A and B are shown apart, each in its own frame.
Chain A
Amino acid sequence: DQQVKQNSPSLSVQEGRISILNCDYTNSMFDYFLWYKKYPAEGPTFLISISSIKDKNEDGRFTVFLNKSAKHLSLHIVPSQPGDSAVYFCAASAFNNDMRFGAGTRLTVKP
């Protein structure tokens, strides 16, 4: 049972444009959401997070939006840079510290 879903396995954007990565979840007990970035043969690294009491969190070029009623969150990267090319994982956790990940979206930013 996939509680966190990333329905787009890949996304390609031009350098300087906006990248929008989407994530849906099914478990209403999730109260904290995170995005991780992963390069091949490495562990994921934390990028940005949002608590369920907020609907937006911004950190430089990265913004995460949360729509609790739709159980949907998205990551916006503006402007996109070639160094942003990686696999992005959406993750969600509940009060019991059980963190679940989506399948990932491979972002390619073309120069």
Chain B
Amino acid sequence: DGGITQSPKYLFRKEGQNVTLSCEQNLNHDAMYWYRQDPGQGLRLIYYSQIVNDFQKGDIAEGYSVSREKKESFPLTVTSAQKNPTAFYLCASTEGVAGANVLTFGAGSRLTVL
């Protein structure tokens, strides 16, 4: 079955540590996204990538980094510069680079900073 796999599902981090969240898709989608969900704030865009080796900052990119070395993979690193990293992180993808596209989401990763 095609879909998006996010791992780990739960992650605990000590302050000052970098962590990387994995996102893999086998849908052959061109565009991939990372969103962060906080209570009462909906989904906020962190980064998105329309093609391999290219990505753009979203609304809250500070303290995060991404790479897109392969079409199917879009890992997100939460760095120690991110002041409030505890949140639910969602990865998504969509085919094509323009027009009417529906995002397919992974199941999410919950990061908790201890």
Binding site for B on A (CB under 8 A): 1, 6, 9, 31-32, 34, 36, 41-46, 49, 51, 89, 91, 93, 95-104
Contacts and interface: CB of A to CB of B under 8 A. Distances in A.
Contacts of B96: 97
B43 A42 contact: no
B21 to A, nearest CB: 13
B50 A103 contact: no
A97 B97 contact: yes
Chain B: number of interface residues, binned into ranges = 20 to 34
A63 B35 CA distance: 26
A101 B42 contact: yes
Contacts of A99: 33, 45, 48, 94, 101, 103
Interface of B: 4, 31, 33, 35, 40-45, 48, 50, 56, 58-59, 88, 90, 92, 94, 96-108, 110
Contacts of B107: 41-43
19 contacts: A6-B42, A32-B101, A41-B107, A43-B92, A43-B106, A43-B107, A44-B103, A46-B104, A93-B100, A95-B98, A96-B50, A97-B31, A97-B94, A97-B98, A99-B33, A99-B94, A100-B59, A101-B35, A101-B43
